[in-house]
Every structure is written in structure tokens, then in C-alpha cells.
Structure 1
Amino acid sequence: MKACLFIALACAFLSFASSLHCWTCRNARSVESCDRFGTLEKCQYNEQACQTVHRRIGYFSVINKRCKQAHACETNQAQNDRPSGKSTQCNTDQVNSVCRCCCKDDKCNMGGLKCSSRGDQVCPALEPVSYGSTDCTRGNSSGSVCSFGCNRPGYSLHPPRHTTSECFTSGKWSNPAPCCARQCPPFLLFDSVILFHADQPRNTGAMMMLAEIFRQSVEVGQDSIRFAGAYFSGVTMITSRIRFSDYTDSDSLRQLVINRLHNPKNTEDGLVNATSALEFTMQNLLVPEAGMRGPEVPKKITIMTNQNPDDDTAEYARQLRNNPDLPVEFLVLGFQNEGMELDYNKMVDITGSPDRVFLFENDPTKINSDSIKEIHDFLCANPCRHVLPGL
């Protein structure tokens, strides 16, 4: 009888001694959802820790919170930094991640991840969101959840699902800061030079048609794309030159193209000197005196041609792509005449990537709005590239 009474009193004491309360939820889709719809649970006497498990599967998160035995919880937490894939199990640089955290105070697992044994970890400062705002619960300390928003009409978050980011105990954010970007197209950000060449001037119809359709599809302006260009053969045709500063809007640009580029002339030697055209571009078009903007705006050269270059353009193009002071991106749009084969590998050597080479039939009747879709998809893959920084 005394033994039974002792056991009952011991159990009552242990129950009283275990006063830890932990937040509990199962398979919540976000920290906010867990805290809103979860419940506060009184832990068993042998559960002296509160655990949070944050799984990320692609774009989706799954949050579980519960009471846990302290040793078991700490063992789980120790797996965060174990190797997995190209980094660790708890990560921000892979498609999937699982992070576990333990803490040992009442309600300590409410909110983001808090790992008591690791102390108050600090994540790197997030990049500021141009045209937007960042609101963090605990700055860049472990467990802080930052919310992002855009505050300018016409701008929205990209990637769209990155509305929040949590500072993990590993010192890494769950997501990088998003950007506030406009729809792309029509909003692209480039100082874009287009260089035209055809084996015969009358064969420029498809090129001019494609260029006009592209112009109509984008917004031309100081905070978006601007164009310059020229026609070249053995040398660059000076009278065809269009500088960024030669027009004020998209309509005046169209008139310049009609006046200067629709009646080109080739040199008598019949050469296709693309290197000379690139040198002309760097000396006369991609310069501040021609209206080129600062280094915050990406520079792009597009070569439109239905002939293979006669010179080794690839080496000079590589130098321009790798120029640390003014890196230049390249596209090549090849227009294939019947019976004339373009050297695809040579075009890839100029651009540095097959993704930047696009081929078309040299027939104006087969050029339409669908012709530029693939170019749009490539240029607009990351709308964050098309936002002026620091605003």
C-alpha cells in the first residue's frame, strides 16, 4: 500500500515538475499558418524540449512543431549541418531542405526556427528590395521572418512565391530576397545595339520585319530598353548609324530605321567583317557620347545576318563578354537563305552559348509575332535583371 502511494506521489510530482508548454501543429504550410491554427500543448515529464521541423520541398514548405525528448531533439538538430547533395540537410541552395530546431522554454517554438544550443545565430543582411519594402520580426537574427512587398504601381514580387524568408539556425536565409519587377515583356532593361548584314541589300526584309515586331513588343525608354544600330558589310556604313541619343521615343526610332537602314549598300569586296562592326560599335555606339547609360544597365549586341562572317569574330566577342569594366552580352539571329547554310558553331562561338543563337527563314512572309516568342522567353527568364538598382 505504501509503495503504491509512493509511486502515485512520484508521478504527480513529475507531472507538476514538467511545466514545459510547446506550440504544436502538424503539416502546416507556413510558420504563420502553424502559429495561427496550432495549439499550446503541455509536455510529458520526459519531454523537456520544444521542436520545430521545417521541410522545404521545391516551392512548398511543411512545418511541424511538438514536444520532444531533449536528447532526441538535439540529435535531430545536429543533422542540420550534415552533408546532403552539394551542401547540407538544412540549406538554402538546393531544391529540398529539412531544418530541425530545439528550444527549452515555454512557448519558445512559436514563430520561426530557434535553436537554443547554437545560440542566437545571425544571417547575412538581405539585399534591399528596389521599389519595395522588407519587414523582419527579429532583424537578421536566427528565427527572424522577413516579409517582402512592392510599393510602386506596376511592380510585383519575383519569384512570386518568395513573399517571406526565414533566418535559419545555420545562418542562412530560407529564400534570397526577391525583387520588385515589371512584366517582361514589354519591360526589358538593356542598352541594345543591333548590327545588320545581308548578302544583298534586298534580302534585309525578314530582318527588318523581325526588328520592327520586336520594337513594337517592348517599352522603349530611359528606365527600360533603348536601341542603337548600324548596317555593315566589309566596313560599317556610317550613314546607317543610329545612336541612343538620336531619338526621343519608340515612334521616332521607327522613323530613323526607315530612313537609315532600309536602303543599305554592301562594299564591292563582298566581305562580312563582323569584327570591324563590333569595333565600330565600341567606339561609336556603346559610349556615353552616343547616349549610352551607366554600368547599371546591361549592354547587349545583336548581330542579324544571312551570311557567315569572313573573319574570326569569336575572339573579339569573347574579349567583350569578359570585359570587367563593360561586359557585353551577345545574340546572333541567323536568317537562312535557300541553298545557303549558316555556320551554327561559329555563331555559338560569338555568343558563348547556344541559348543565344536563333535561326529563322529569310522570308518576310514567315516572320510574325510568334517569331520573337523564343527570344522573349530567353531575355525575360529573370525579370529581376530588368530593374534599375538602388531605387
Structure 2
Amino acid sequence: MKGCKQRKACRNNQAQNTQVSGGGKQCNADQPSSVCSCCCVGDGCNIGEPPCIEEVINVTCPVQATFYHGEMQCSDGNNEGSVCKFVCTEGAFSVYPDGVNANQCMGGGVWNISMPCCARPCPPYFLYDMVTLYHTTNVQLFDIFSLGAIIRTSAIAIGPEATQSASFYYSDKIDEDSVVYFNDYNYNRSLGIRLYDERTRPNNSANGKVNTGAAIQWALRNMFNESRGARRNVPKVIVVAIDSDSDDDVTSASQAARDAGVLIYVFNIPPAGGALDQDQMLSITNDVDHIFTFDPERRNFFSNVGSFTTDVISHFCSDPCNHAFHN
């Protein structure tokens, strides 16, 4: 019968001898050249005939990520049996998925469930940067877009970890006096609305031209810059609010914006007894569900705003853990 061996010798024995030992914790006397089934621990532990000491193997689980916007407290780090509890400590944040307030490191070296995150309700907490491009040939209709801007921003949270909006007016060129950049109001909702009301007024060129393609290109180059308050790694949205077809090419500029990851919508008011060019608007959005046609009498105003919000939810609210900065 082979006695218990120190760990290194025992491991070598097991590697060299393929005959399996029995179910006990000591080497088996009735099985010649049996493999030692346990290893003793400590210097000199194999002197004399000590009982076989079962080898202790430390089982650990992967280190869990930082628990942003809250606190994670674990009973024993990431070792087997450790229970980690999660509590969100900031503002409107709560644990998501709901009810997942703890997890445990299991014997197989895996957590029994994935760690949750701290999330906020979406809506009203959408995380994106939005730029609205305005043009109207019929200045009497401009208030529809103006009111729409206020309602769209008031229905969502404005803040450094929520939505922020910027805007400008254009015709054949950009009216640079109308521009409201993101950092002109630094998340102050009332200041942002006041700046919009002061700056964004119909100011059409004498030639009557409308260059929506150029406006989209200008927004892409000038509005989504960090120097203007745009945020790195935050989704971008463009809303084109128009009541006229464009006189320039909209396809290449819109494609460039989409290639940059920008989501584009069109809010349009058709001329009396007519309609805007649907193919052109589809070239801008590349999605018929991103085109919203407003009645000049505002009869479908709130339903359109509701449909717009529903579509935004489909893009930004699928995973609540992605609706806040985690750094």
C-alpha cells in the first residue's frame, strides 16, 4: 500500500500511473500500484503513517466588472461561495433586471447569474445627442415645428447622462445666427428653449432655394463635434423638419450620416393639396417609419409625436444597461 504523498509527488504519481484508485480518500491496499487519490499538505506530512489529507483546491469565479452608479459588496471576493450584493445609490437608478440584487460564486467557478446593472427608466431617460434642422417656406407653419421642439424636449430628460438637443435654420445655406449648439445651454432646459425661441426664426434666401443635403452635411461636420458639446460614444440623431422638397442632392449627405451611425428622421408638412417627394424623404431616412407627415391643422400632431417617441424607444430602450454612462 502506498502512503500519502506530498502534493508534487502525488501529482507525478497520478500522471504516470493510469490505474484508478478506489473511492476512498487513501491509497487502496487491495489494488497494486494504485494511484494515490489524495495529496497531503505541508513539509514532512508524509513521515510515518498520517491520515490522508484531502487536497484543498481554491475555486474562484471571474472578477466582476465595476458596478457603476451603485455599490457591490461581496462576502469573500470572487472565491467559491462568495455572495455579492448590489445596491444602486444614484438618482433615478435602480437595479436591472428588477429583483436581481445578488449573485453567488459556485463550485464550478461561475457566477450563478450575471451581475445586474444600475439603469433608469427609458423613457424618459434616452441617451443620445439630437440635432434638428429647420426649414419652412410657409412661415405661418413654423410654429408647428417650434411647438414640436418644445414638446419633444419636455417629454424626455435633459442632462449629462440623458438627452441633449441642438438646432439651426437653413434655406439655400445655413443661417448661422440661428444655431444653438449643445454647449450653448449646458443641459439647462429653460435656457435651451429660450435660445431656440430667440435664434430659430424663418430666414429664407431671396432665391427661394432649399438645400437639405447641404444642411445635413453641415450638421454632420459642425454640430456633432466635442468642441460644440457633443458627447463621445453617444448615439446621434438628426431630425429634418421641412415643408419643401430639397433643391440639392440629399442622398450622398444622408448616406454619409448613416454611415457615421446617425439615425435620421423627417418631420414634414405637405403643401396645400399636395405632398412632398416621398422618394426624396426616403433617401434621407432610409426607413419609411422615420417619416412623419404633420397636418397643417395639427390634427395629428400629438399622434405623430407619440409615434416618433415609440420609434425612438425601439432604438434606444432595448437594453436599459446601455442607457447611461458606465465609466
User: Could you state the TM-score of these two structures normalised by the residue count of structure 1?
Assistant: 0.57
Following superposition, the deviation at residue 194 of structure 1 comes to: 0.7
The DSSP-based 3-state class of the residue aligned with 1:266 is coil
Structure 1 unaligned residues grouped into runs of 5+? 1-119
Task: Supply the distance in 1 between the matched residues of 2:250 and 2:258 (Cα, whole angstroms).
Answer: 12
Residue 185 of structure 2 is matched in structure 1 by 247
The DSSP-based 3-state class of the residue aligned with 1:241 is strand
Q: Contact between 2:76 and 2:83, CA under 8 Å: does it hold in 1?
A: yes
Residue 264 (structure 2) pairs with residue 318 (structure 1): no
Q: 1:269 aligns with which of 187, 207, 230?
A: 207
Residue 154 (structure 2) pairs with residue 224 (structure 1): no
Q: 1:358 aligns with which of 278, 292, 313?
A: 292
Residue 19 of structure 2 is matched in structure 1 by none
Task: Supply the distance in 1 between the matched residues of 2:252 and 2:167 (Cα, whole angstroms).
Answer: 21
Q: 2:233 aligns with which of 296, 308, 311?
A: 296
Q: Which amino acid aligns with 2:308?
A: I
The DSSP-based 3-state class of the residue aligned with 1:279 is helix
Question: Structure 1 residues 174, 337: closer, same or farther in 2, change over 3 A?
Answer: farther
Task: Supply the distance in 2 between the matched residues of 1:171 and 1:334 (Cα, whole angstroms).
Answer: 57
Residue 198 of structure 2 is matched in structure 1 by 259
Q: Contact between 1:337 and 1:361, CA under 8 Å: does it hold in 2?
A: no
Question: Structure 1 residues 149, 339: closer, same or farther in 2, change over 3 A?
Answer: farther
Following superposition, the deviation at residue 168 of structure 1 comes to: 9.8
**Where do 1:170-189 residues align within 5 Å?**
177-189=115-127
Following superposition, the deviation at residue 172 of structure 1 comes to: 8.9
Q: Contact between 1:200 and 1:266, CA under 8 Å: does it hold in 2?
A: no
Q: Contact between 2:136 and 2:202, CA under 8 Å: does it hold in 1?
A: no
Residue 268 (structure 2) pairs with residue 334 (structure 1): yes
The DSSP-based 3-state class of the residue aligned with 1:280 is helix
Task: Supply the distance in 2 between the matched residues of 1:142 and 1:285 (Cα, whole angstroms).
Answer: 51
Question: Structure 1 residues 265, 223: closer, same or farther in 2, change over 3 A?
Answer: same
Question: Structure 1 residues 252, 157: closer, same or farther in 2, change over 3 A?
Answer: same
Q: Contact between 1:240 and 1:264, CA under 8 Å: does it hold in 2?
A: no
> How much identity, in percent, do the aligned residues show?
28
Residue 154 of structure 1 is matched in structure 2 by 92
Q: 1:377 aligns with which of 306, 310, 326?
A: 310
Q: Contact between 2:220 and 2:257, CA under 8 Å: does it hold in 1?
A: no
Alignment size in residue pairs: 267
Task: Supply the distance in 2 between the matched residues of 1:372 and 1:230 (Cα, whole angstroms).
Answer: 20
The farther-off stretch of 178-187 and 142-151 is 142-151
Following superposition, the deviation at residue 230 of structure 1 comes to: 0.5
Measured against aligned partners, the alpha-carbon deviations of 1:209-237 in whole angstroms (never above 9, x if no partner) come to: 11111122223233322221111121111
Q: Contact between 2:62 and 2:78, CA under 8 Å: does it hold in 1?
A: yes
Q: Contact between 1:333 and 1:360, CA under 8 Å: does it hold in 2?
A: yes
The farther-off stretch of 345-354 and 179-188 is 345-354
Task: Supply the distance in 1 between the matched residues of 2:65 and 2:221 (Cα, whole angstroms).
Answer: 35
Following superposition, the deviation at residue 387 of structure 1 comes to: 0.6
Following superposition, the deviation at residue 303 of structure 1 comes to: 1.1
Residue 40 of structure 1 is matched in structure 2 by none
Measured against aligned partners, the alpha-carbon deviations of 1:267-324 in whole angstroms (never above 9, x if no partner) come to: 233333112112222333222332223x13322221112233333323322222323x
Following superposition, the deviation at residue 193 of structure 1 comes to: 0.9
Following superposition, the deviation at residue 154 of structure 1 comes to: 1.4
Following superposition, the deviation at residue 123 of structure 1 comes to: 8.1
The DSSP-based 3-state class of the residue aligned with 1:180 is strand
Q: Which amino acid aligns with 1:236?
A: I
Q: Which amino acid aligns with 2:151?
A: I
Residue 286 of structure 1 is matched in structure 2 by 224
Following superposition, the deviation at residue 264 of structure 1 comes to: 0.9
Residue 68 of structure 2 is matched in structure 1 by 130
Residue 152 (structure 2) pairs with residue 214 (structure 1): yes
Structure 2 unaligned residues grouped into runs of 5+? 1-57
Q: Contact between 1:205 and 1:364, CA under 8 Å: does it hold in 2?
A: no
Residue 367 of structure 1 is matched in structure 2 by 301
Following superposition, the deviation at residue 328 of structure 1 comes to: 2.4
Q: Contact between 1:296 and 1:388, CA under 8 Å: does it hold in 2?
A: no
Q: Contact between 1:196 and 1:305, CA under 8 Å: does it hold in 2?
A: yes
Larger Rg: 2
Following superposition, the deviation at residue 341 of structure 1 comes to: 1.8
Task: Supply the distance in 2 between the matched residues of 1:314 and 1:124 (Cα, whole angstroms).
Answer: 48
Measured against aligned partners, the alpha-carbon deviations of 1:173-202 in whole angstroms (never above 9, x if no partner) come to: 887654322233332222221111123222
Q: Contact between 2:266 and 2:290, CA under 8 Å: does it hold in 1?
A: yes
Q: Which amino acid aligns with 1:130?
A: Y
Measured against aligned partners, the alpha-carbon deviations of 1:54-103 in whole angstroms (never above 9, x if no partner) come to: xxxxxxxxxxxxxxxxxxxxxxxxxxxxxxxxxxxxxxxxxxxxxxxxxx
User: Could you state the TM-score of these two structures normalised by the residue count of structure 2?
Assistant: 0.66
Question: Structure 1 residues 246, 271: closer, same or farther in 2, change over 3 A?
Answer: same
